[in-house]
Chains A and B, each alone.
Chain A
Amino acid sequence: MKHGMKYIDDFRDPATAKALVEKIRRDAGDAPVRLMEVCGTHTVAIARGGIRPLLSGAVSMLSGPGCPVCVTPDGYIDAAIALGTERGVLLASFGDMLRVPGKSSSLEKEKGTGLEVRVVYSPLDAVTLAAATPDREVVFLGVGFETTAPAIGGAIKTASVRGVGNFSVLSSVRTIPEAMGVLAADPEVRIEGFLCPAHVSVVIGTDAYRPVAQRYGIPCVVAGFEPLDILLGISMLLRQKNEGVARVENEYSRVATATGNRKAQELIRDVFVPCDTGWRGIGVIPGSGLRIADRYASFDAEKKYGVPVVFAQEKTACRCGDVLKGKILPVDCPLFGKACVPEEPYGPCMVSSEGSCAAYYKYGAL
Chain B
Amino acid sequence: MHDRILLSHGEGGKRTRDLIAKVIARYFDNPVLSPFLDAGLLGRIEGEIAFTTDGYVVTPPFFPGGDIGRLAVCGTVNDLAVCGAKAVAMSCGLILEEGLPLDTLERALAGMRDAAKEAGVTIACGDTKVVERGKGDGIFITTAGIGVSVDGWRPAPPEIRPGDRILITGTMGDHQVAVLIARQNLAIEAPVLSDVAPLSGLLLPLLPRFAGKVRFMRDPTRGGVGVTLNEMASAANARFLLDEARLPVRESVRGVCEILGFDPLYLANEGKAVLIVAGDAADAIVAALREHPYGRDAEVIGEVAPGAAGVRMRTLAGGVRAVDYPVGDQLPRIC
> Is the CB of A331 closer than 8 A to any CB of chain B?
no
A-side binding surface: helix, strand, loop or mixed?
A: helix
> Is the CB of A306 closer than 8 A to any CB of chain B?
no
Contact of B251 among A2, A21, A96, A365 (CB under 8 A): A2
> Is the CB of B9 closer than 8 A to any CB of chain A?
no
> Is the CB of A256 closer than 8 A to any CB of chain B?
no
* CA distance in complex: A228, B186 (Å): 30
Contacts of A365 in B (CB 8 A): 310, 322, 324
Contacts of B127 in A (CB 8 A): none
> Is the CB of A268 closer than 8 A to any CB of chain B?
no
Contacts of B319 in A (CB 8 A): 49-54
Contacts of B186 in A (CB 8 A): 121
Contact B321 A5 (CB under 8 A): no
Contact B327 A47 (CB under 8 A): no
Nearest CB to that of A8 among chain B residues? B258
> Is the CB of A319 closer than 8 A to any CB of chain B?
no
> Is the CB of A343 closer than 8 A to any CB of chain B?
yes
> Is the CB of A353 closer than 8 A to any CB of chain B?
yes
Contacts of A48 in B (CB 8 A): 315, 321
* CA distance in complex: A18, B317 (Å): 7
Interface residues of B in 218-251 (CB under 8 A from A): 245, 251
Contacts of A231 in B (CB 8 A): 317
Contact A366 B322 (CB under 8 A): yes
Interface residues of A in 59-99 (CB under 8 A from B): 95-96, 99
Nearest CB to that of B261 among chain A residues? A353
Nearest CB to that of B321 among chain A residues? A50
Interface size class of B (residues with CB under 8 A): 20 to 34
> Is the CB of A17 closer than 8 A to any CB of chain B?
yes
> Is the CB of A1 closer than 8 A to any CB of chain B?
yes
Contacts of B312 in A (CB 8 A): 366
> Is the CB of A269 closer than 8 A to any CB of chain B?
no
Residue among B185, B313, B322, B327 with max Cβ neighbours from chain A (10 Å): B327
> Is the CB of A342 closer than 8 A to any CB of chain B?
yes
* CA distance in complex: A52, B314 (Å): 13
Contact B328 A4 (CB under 8 A): no
* CA distance in complex: A4, B261 (Å): 16
- Given the contacts A342-B328, A365-B324, A12 and B258 also touching, CB distance less than 8 Å: no
* CA distance in complex: A50, B318 (Å): 7
Contact B322 A18 (CB under 8 A): no
What is the CB-to-nearest-CB distance from B271 to chain A, in angstroms, rounded to a whole number?
A: 22
Contact A49 B322 (CB under 8 A): no
What is the CB-to-nearest-CB distance from B191 to chain A, in angstroms, rounded to a whole number?
A: 9
Contact of A95 among B314, B315, B320, B329 (CB under 8 A): B329
Contact B317 A17 (CB under 8 A): yes
Contacts of B258 in A (CB 8 A): 5, 8
Nearest CB to that of A228 among chain B residues? B317
Contact B316 A12 (CB under 8 A): yes
Residue-wise, chain A 117-148 has the 8 Å CB interface mask toward B (1 for contact) of: 00001000000000000000000000000000
What is the CB-to-nearest-CB distance from B197 to chain A, in angstroms, rounded to a whole number?
A: 24
Contact B316 A343 (CB under 8 A): no
Contact B322 A362 (CB under 8 A): yes
Contact B316 A49 (CB under 8 A): yes
> Is the CB of B254 closer than 8 A to any CB of chain A?
yes
> Is the CB of A278 closer than 8 A to any CB of chain B?
no
Contact B315 A49 (CB under 8 A): yes
* CA distance in complex: A13, B328 (Å): 31
Contacts of B39 in A (CB 8 A): none
> Is the CB of B252 closer than 8 A to any CB of chain A?
yes
> Is the CB of A14 closer than 8 A to any CB of chain B?
yes
Contacts of A353 in B (CB 8 A): 261, 329
> Is the CB of B155 closer than 8 A to any CB of chain A?
no
- Given the contacts A4-B255, A5-B251, A366 and B318 also touching, CB distance less than 8 Å: no
> Is the CB of A363 closer than 8 A to any CB of chain B?
yes
> Is the CB of A205 closer than 8 A to any CB of chain B?
no
Contact A99 B320 (CB under 8 A): no
Contact A5 B322 (CB under 8 A): no
What is the CB-to-nearest-CB distance from A13 to chain B, in angstroms, rounded to a whole number?
A: 8
* CA distance in complex: A21, B317 (Å): 9
Contacts of B316 in A (CB 8 A): 12-14, 17, 49, 227
Nearest CB to that of A45 among chain B residues? B317
> Is the CB of B21 closer than 8 A to any CB of chain A?
no
> Is the CB of A364 closer than 8 A to any CB of chain B?
yes
Contacts of B261 in A (CB 8 A): 353
Contact A5 B254 (CB under 8 A): yes
Contact B252 A14 (CB under 8 A): no
Contact A1 B324 (CB under 8 A): no
> Is the CB of B281 closer than 8 A to any CB of chain A?
no
* CA distance in complex: A366, B261 (Å): 24
Interface residues of B in 258-297 (CB under 8 A from A): 258, 261
* CA distance in complex: A22, B317 (Å): 12
> Is the CB of B190 closer than 8 A to any CB of chain A?
yes
Residue among A1, A95, A343 with max Cβ neighbours from chain B (10 Å): A1
* CA distance in complex: A50, B323 (Å): 11
Nearest CB to that of A360 among chain B residues? B322
- Given the contacts A50-B320, A366-B320, A227 and B315 also touching, CB distance less than 8 Å: yes
Contact A364 B322 (CB under 8 A): yes
What is the CB-to-nearest-CB distance from A305 to chain B, in angstroms, rounded to a whole number?
A: 28
Contact B317 A5 (CB under 8 A): no
Nearest CB to that of A231 among chain B residues? B317
* CA distance in complex: A342, B254 (Å): 26
* CA distance in complex: A12, B317 (Å): 7
* CA distance in complex: A365, B310 (Å): 10
Q: Which residues does B use to contact A, with CB under 8 Å?
A: 185-186, 190, 245, 251-252, 254-255, 258, 261, 310, 312-322, 324, 327-329
Given A49-B319, A50-B315, A99-B328, 17 more pairs with CB closer than 8 A: A1-B251, A1-B252, A12-B316, A14-B316, A17-B317, A21-B317, A48-B321, A50-B313, A50-B317, A50-B319, A50-B320, A51-B319, A52-B319, A231-B317, A361-B324, A364-B322, A366-B312
What 6 A-B pairs come out closest when comparing CB atoms?
Answer: A50-B319, A50-B321, A227-B317, A342-B327, A49-B317, A50-B315
19 contacts between A and B (CB under 8 A): A1-B190, A4-B255, A13-B316, A14-B316, A17-B317, A49-B316, A49-B319, A50-B315, A50-B317, A50-B318, A50-B319, A50-B321, A51-B317, A54-B317, A342-B328, A343-B328, A353-B261, A364-B321, A366-B322
